[in-house]
Amino acid sequence: MLNKVVYPLVLMCCLLGCKDDEVETMGDNAKREKFLQQTVSGVYDGDVPLLMFDEANHQMAFTADQRVWRIQTDSQDKYVHCELSEAPVAEAKVVMSVKAKGVNEVLVGEQEGVVLKKENNKCWLWSIAAGVGYLMQNNE
């Protein structure tokens, strides 16, 4: 009797869990597509800027080897700093080390990223763990 109740419940839980993963993946893909439409350096949740570079209020720095990128306010009360394990290559995975201050939505620490695209001296980098995009200026 117990098996007739428990097994269907376990099966239903497994199926519902898979369905949530599919919905999450679809939502993540939609956010990635919106992020890929952005053109201004910054950090984005889809098409919503979490910190977007504004020349009048921010400073931006990046290294020639394309591994380190940073945006900060002139007063340094807000910043996002991203360091990559290696130079970004389109469609390749990379380890990101992220530091932030004053931008609570940004996941700090080491995380896996994927380079979605590189063109026009810019790199569209996606944090897999955070579901957040980094549009990084660099010199190719």
Domain coverage including residue 44: 2-137
**What integer is the mean pLDDT of 56-84?**
95
Which residues face 35 on adjacent strands? none
Q: pTM here? A: 0.80
- Helix, strand, coil: what percent of the chain each, to 5? 25, 40, 35
Q: 76: which DSSP letter?
A: S
pLDDT at 44: 97
**What integer is the mean pLDDT of 42-61?**
96
pLDDT tens sequence across 19-47: 434 434 556 899 999 999 999 999 999 99
70 contacts 82 by C-beta, under 8 angstroms = yes
pLDDT at 92 over 80: yes
Which residues face 100 on adjacent strands? 80
Across the chain, mean pLDDT equals: 86
Phi, psi of 52 (to 5 degrees): -115, 135
Q: Max Cα separation, the chain?
A: 71
pLDDT tens sequence across 97-127: 999 999 998 999 999 999 999 999 999 999 9
pLDDT at 28: 84
Rg over CA atoms, the chain? 19
Number of domains in the chain: 1
pLDDT at 138: 80
